Amino acid sequence: MLTKIADFFNKRMVQASQQTESNDEQRIAMATCALLLEMANADSEFGEDEQAKIISILIHNFHLSEEDARDLIALSDQERKESLDLWQFTNLINQNYSKAEKIKVLEILWSVIYADGKVDMHEEYLMRKLNMLLNMDHSDLIDAKIRAREV
């Protein structure tokens, strides 16, 4: 599966001289996208608002075209469905992101929750779980929630 992801990025986005650095970026983009998709599916209602929000996040944060964002969603969703748990995704983020970058991940996860205008108890539970897996403080989770709600 990771080969498919690497092929996707190599074909569309990566120049040969930037191969090493962009491999990490590819894996982080896939991991972040997988978490976004997990959040969008937490309430069993993955709607158009949530999908549009995820596409917007990928375009803005990972500098993808809309087509590349849709392809990344398809690949990440397949990887998410084949994974046993979320640790592989959060571990990759923990290894590569600073605290500030992980707070940004929490904010964009909250923005996916707010995309459909309602917060489900399953979404809140998953946010608490992801907050723990990202080794963040509860106050970081609450601050990210407030910032995402204000946008």
pLDDT tens digits, residue range 52-85? 999 999 999 999 999 999 999 999 999 999 999 9
What is the percent of the chain where pLDDT is above 70?
Answer: 85
pLDDT band at residue 150 using 50, 70 and 90 as cut-offs: confident
Q: What is the C-alpha to C-alpha distance for residues 147 and 151, in angstroms, rounded to an integer?
A: 7
Domain range 2-8+21-150, CATH class: mainly alpha
Cα distances (Å, whole numbers) of residue 90 to 30, 67, 135: 11, 25, 9
